[in-house]
Structure 1
Amino acid sequence: MRNALSVDVEDWFQVGAFERTIRRADWDGLAHRVERNTDAVLALFAEAGVTGTFFTLGWVAERYPALMRRIADAGHEVASHGYDHARVFTFTPEEFRADLRKARAILEDASGQQVNGYRAPSFSIDARTPWAHPILAEEGYAYSSSVAPVRHDHYGWPESPRFAWRPIAGSPLVELPVTTAKLGGRTLAAGGGGFFRLLPYAFSRWAIRQVNGEAQHPAIIYFHPWEIDPDQPRVADAPLRSRVRHYTNLSVMAGKLRRLVRDFAWTRVDAVAAQERERVA
């Protein structure tokens, strides 16, 4: 079974953990490391012979259009992560639509690809945003991967389905939730990111095998380019919890990713979305 491999392309200062510490107005004056880190991810994928999906901020594509072209030329999918990592539930429906359109135009112009996929910053489509999926469908998106069916202090929609589902009856739009695992009746986050970096590799391997074997579904896995960059700047005045989550195990992440891409079969998210759309028709 081929699983969906995805990268949320944002810089170290654009993460949700620092959104109350670093102002958007200051972003351009900070050290940008997203291009070099994403190129390192591209090299890792090329070494393993895998393709994936790069959910990219419009803000990044606006400043690094050549990077978008390199992603597309390497056979990867370019998809939208919104413009500047604002969470969906902070928008009005009209603002959400405008953000979608702005980011998509920038991404398509830079990459030369049609953008059909969307991932909400910080998995911020949830029970507070009943209008989000209809707007995505109206804007012509084929799929979203924007829901985390777990309880978490930063995000989560625990009542939503664990696997692919159609948010709108009669619409081709499919939602691909980030992967979770089941243990003792509990639903555990297991889709990558900080969980992959902080927990032993054996946990992620077990979770993906459970989803592939017992549940017979592909896993939806993600990480960020800054997670393979142990030399990135430190934000000393961020909350302790945020610093622990953000900086722990950065030095081991690249090695764990090499194991991951070797141990399982991988493809782009749009390929998995097409397959899952047929299953939930």
Structure 2
Amino acid sequence: MDKTSTIVNALSIDVEDYFQVSAFEAHIHRDQWSQIDCRVERNINEILALLDEHQVRATFFTLGWIAERFPKLVRQMADQGHEVASHGYDHVRVTMQSRDAFARDIQHTKKLLEDTCACPITGYRAASYSINRTNLWAHEEILNAGHRYSSSVYPIHHDLYGIPDAPRFAFRPLPGAELVEIPVTTVEIGKRRIPCGGGGFFRLYPYPISRWMINRVNAKEQQSAIFYFHPWEIDAGQPRLPNLPWKTRFRHYLNLDQTKQRLGALLRDFKWAPMNQVFFDKQQLIGDIPQVSLH
């Protein structure tokens, strides 16, 4: 497929290790994390090589916990022209935090990442897209922490996250403020919203379906797609946890051996750039992004 579209899409990576995913919270306690061999460094280096091969730059939403243990890796991301953004400190969902705890978490992580990579951290993504209608105050705290944008709302119905009737494309969630919320991409087919922005859905669908959906967003709606994946999704050799519920096991381990090949096709078939470049580098007027209240 030729990159005939002029639309540039936003590529993002949620930098966390396999044992840090929300679905494993009941099986691996955070107190155990430091005793587990990390695989994130080798996986990120493999991703950096893949991006360099295709001359693509991306946004790395990085846990503070990872940055503390692998500061050279975070600096390497920035030195190679990628955007470093915040994924919170240790992947606690916003739905499990008080407002004060959330504010402390994102302020601490922002400073930690800025000190590590010596670059401004303007983007934030909540663990497991955990901003929903119960915690819309989170946008005020993200703004107060000094972030320019968030990518924390998934505009679908899902058993673990989502605001089904939220806007599908970038919007300003706070009246009179310039904070931009940039949702992960979906397509509308009839009255249904279908996720096409990566993660487990990218591993579930045959690649031509993902390609068709992203192309539809670019060509029919003239919008940039927001795509994400995790370092552990290219790591078929990661340890298998025993006694997982079948749904968790299926979602986490499905088609791990095919992800890297599919990503290579994705990088060839579409144009990609970091989140901040897609939405802010062209001096796009914030006023052109609609203000929408989720309350």
Instruction: Decide: shared fold, TM above 0.5.
Output: yes
Q: Kindly report the root-mean-square deviation, in angstroms, between the aligned alpha carbons of the 2 structures.
A: 1.1
Structure 1 gap ranges (5+): none
Mark the CA change 1:49 to 1:189 in structure 2 (over 3 Å): closer, same or farther. same
| One-letter amino acid of the counterpart of residue 216, structure 2 | Q
2:50 is the alignment partner of 1:69:
no
CA distance in 2, matches of 1:272, 1:16: 28
State the secondary structure of the residue aligned to 1:78.
strand
Is contact 1:164–1:276 with CA below 8 Å preserved after alignment? no
Structure 2 gap ranges (5+): 1-6, 291-295
Mark the CA change 1:278 to 1:203 in structure 2 (over 3 Å): closer, same or farther. farther
1:258 offset after TM fit, Å? Answer: 0.3
Deviations 1:78-136 (A, max 9, x none): 00000000001111111110000111121111111110000001000110112111111
The aligned residue for residue 122 of structure 2 is: 116
State the secondary structure of the residue aligned to 1:13.
helix
Count of residue pairs brought into register by the alignment: 281
State the secondary structure of the residue aligned to 2:18.
coil
Is contact 1:174–1:273 with CA below 8 Å preserved after alignment? no
State the secondary structure of the residue aligned to 2:178.
coil
CA distance in 2, matches of 1:211, 1:92: 36
Mark the CA change 1:225 to 1:47 in structure 2 (over 3 Å): closer, same or farther. same
2:174 is the alignment partner of 1:168:
yes
CA distance in 1, matches of 2:131, 2:163: 8
Is contact 1:2–1:266 with CA below 8 Å preserved after alignment? yes
Deviations 1:238-281 (A, max 9, x none): 21111111111111100000000000000000122324845316
Deviations 1:9-42 (A, max 9, x none): 0000001111111100001111200011011100
TM-score (norm 2): 0.93
The aligned residue for residue 266 of structure 1 is: 272
TM-score (norm 1): 0.98
State the secondary structure of the residue aligned to 2:176.
coil
The aligned residue for residue 184 of structure 1 is: 190
* Structure 1 runs, 4 residues or longer, greater than 2 Å off: 275-279
CA distance in 1, matches of 2:127, 2:288: 27
| One-letter amino acid of the counterpart of residue 214, structure 2 | I
| One-letter amino acid of the counterpart of residue 24, structure 2 | F
